[in-house]
Amino acid sequence: MKNNKLFLPIILILFSFLLPIFFQSCNSVDKHDSIKIAISKAKPEEYYVQYENWLKATDSTIECVDMYHIRLDSALMIFENCDGLLLTGGPDVFPGRYDQAFDTSRCGEIDYKRDTLEFALIKKALELKMPILGVCRGEQILNIAMGGSLIVDIPTDFDTSIIHRCEDTYNCEHDIIVVKNSLLNKICQTGFYFSNSNHHQAVNELADCFVASAFTHDSLIEAIEWKKPEGKSFLIAVQWHPERLSSDNTLSYPIAERFLEEAKKYGVN
C-alpha cells in the first residue's frame, strides 16, 4: 500500500512533465503536415483562382488561404500560422502611397482596402522572415512598400516600342532578359525567354534594398529580388504572370517550386 501511495505521485509528476512535450510534438506535426500559403487575393474571379491552381499543380498537398475576404485583424492573426505569402496581380496601387496622389486620375481601378491589407501583410512577413513571392501588382506593391515608385502609365510615360499590354490579355507576350547569376537566373536556368505581359504600370525608381533581375529590351524592370539577401527571407517578384504560362515554360513552374520549397523550410524552423 505504501509503495502504491509513493508510485502515484511519481506517475503524476512524469505525466505533467511529458504532456506538454507530447502536445508540442503533435502541434508541430499538425502545422507541417501541409504547407499553408497566404494569398493576398485568390477569388472569386477565374484569374485569381489561377494562382492557387498554379501552386497546387506543383504540390497538391498545400493549403491556400485567401486573405482578402477576411477582416484585417483576423487575417493578420491567421497569417502568423502561414508559411509563405503570395502577392497576386490586380488593380493599380493608390499612387499617393509613393507621393504621386496627383496622378490618381491616370490610374485604372484602385482598391484601397487591398492596398491596406497588402502593406500590412508585407510588413508582417518581413518581421517573421517569411518567404514572399510577388506577381505583377505584387512586384509593384513590394517596391512601393520598401520605398520605391512606379511608372504610372507606360504608354504615356515611357518611350518604348514594346507592347506591355494588349486587348487580348491572354495572348500578349514579349521577350525578357534575365540577369546572369541572379536568384531568378538560378531558379529558372535561363537568360533569355518569352513571357506573357499584361500591365500598364511598372517599377520606376527601384527601392534601395532591391536589385532588378530581369528586363525587357526597352530596359523596363521585369523582376526584382534582394540586393543583399544575407540574413533575409526568400523574396522574389516578377512582372509577368507565371500562373498563366504553360508547365514547360521555365519562367513558370520553377518559380512556384522554389517558393514552396522555401515555405517548407520556413515551416520546419
User: How much is the average pLDDT of 119-146?
Assistant: 98
Alpha-carbon span 90 to 67, nearest angstrom: 14
Helix or strand holding residue 170 (H, E)? none
Specify whether the CB–CB gap between 75 and 116 falls below 8 A: no
Q: Annotated catalytic sites, by residue? A: 136, 241, 243
Higher pLDDT, 172 or 152: 152
In the predicted structure, residue 267 carries a pLDDT above the cut 70? yes
Side-chain half-sphere exposure of 218, counting CA atoms within 13 A: 14
pLDDT of 199: 75
In the predicted structure, residue 1 carries a pLDDT above the cut 70? no
Specify whether the CB–CB gap between 88 and 81 falls below 8 A: no
In the predicted structure, residue 164 carries a pLDDT above the cut 90? no
Which single residue is written with the C-alpha cell 508582417?
124
What DSSP character marks residue 194?
E
Which single residue is written with the C-alpha cell 539577401?
229
Alpha-carbon span 155 to 73, nearest angstrom: 38
Specify which of 60-64, 176-180, 264-268 reaches the highest per-range mean pLDDT: 60-64
- Alpha-helical (H) ranges within 33-134 are 46-58, 72-79, 112-128
User: How much is the average pLDDT of 235-244?
Assistant: 94
Phi first, then psi, for residue 95 (nearest 5°) are -65, -15
Q: Which domains does the chain have, with CATH numbers?
A: 41-268 (3.40.50.880)
7-21, 90-104, 238-252: range with lowest mean pLDDT: 7-21
Higher pLDDT, 164 or 68: 68
Higher pLDDT, 211 or 194: 211
The pLDDT > 90 percentage for the chain reads: 68
Q: At what angle do helices 72-79 and 112-128 cross, to 10 degrees?
A: 30
pLDDT band at 162 (very low <50, low <70, confident <90, very high): low
Alpha-carbon span 245 to 204, nearest angstrom: 25
Alpha-carbon span 220 to 224, nearest angstrom: 11
C-alpha cell at 15: 505525466
pLDDT tens-digit profile of 142-152?
999 999 999 99
